[in-house]
Amino acid sequence: QKEVEQNSGPLSVPEGAIASLNCTYSDRVSQSFFWYRQYSGKSPELIMSIYSNGDKEDGRFTAQLNKASQYVSLLIRDSQPSDSATYLCAVNTPKAAGNKLTFGGGTRVLVKP
């Protein structure tokens, strides 16, 4: 059973539109959720963290968490060509002391001018 699942994409959006990315996770005791952006050949860059149910906004990004549905999403408003990247969902499930992050496979986003 996959622990963190994402649609691999590519998700193609026109410039200025909203990109909507989804992530589901399997372990109900997961507590912390993160979105990373990864450009090709580069390292993951943290863009959002969310810990409680509801919405969290930061600039053009909004993360949404629904623990009952085991679902976390990321909205990118006013998408720009520079937003073209792979977006990784990461989940922390505190089963041990190590603060391990489990990553999904990522959703590739293409923003077309």
Partner 1 sequence: EPEVTQTPSHQVTQMGQEVILRCVPISNHLYFYWYRQILGQKVEFLVSFYNNEISEKSEIFDDQFSVERPDGSNFTLKIRSTKLEDSAMYFCASSETGTAHEQYFGPGTRLTVT
* Residues of the shown chain interacting with partner 1 in the complex, contacts defined by CB under 8 A: 31-32, 34, 36, 42-46, 49, 51, 88, 90, 92, 94, 96-106
Question: Could you tell me the smallest distance in angstroms from the CB atom of residue 73 to partner 1?
Answer: 19
Q: How far apart are the C-alpha atoms of 98 and 77, rounded to whole Å?
A: 34
Taking the complex as a whole, the smallest distance from the CB of residue 18 to partner 1 amounts, in Å, to: 25
Instruction: State the Cα–Cα distance between residues 66 and 96, nearest whole angstrom.
Output: 23
* Min separation Cβ 43 and partner 1, Å: 4
Instruction: Tell me the residue ranges of DSSP E strands in the chain.
Output: 4-6, 11-14, 19-25, 32-38, 45-50, 54-58, 61-66, 71-76, 85-92, 101-103, 107-112
Nearer to partner 1, 37 or 79 (CB): 37
Residue among 13 and 109 whose Cβ is closer to partner 1: 109
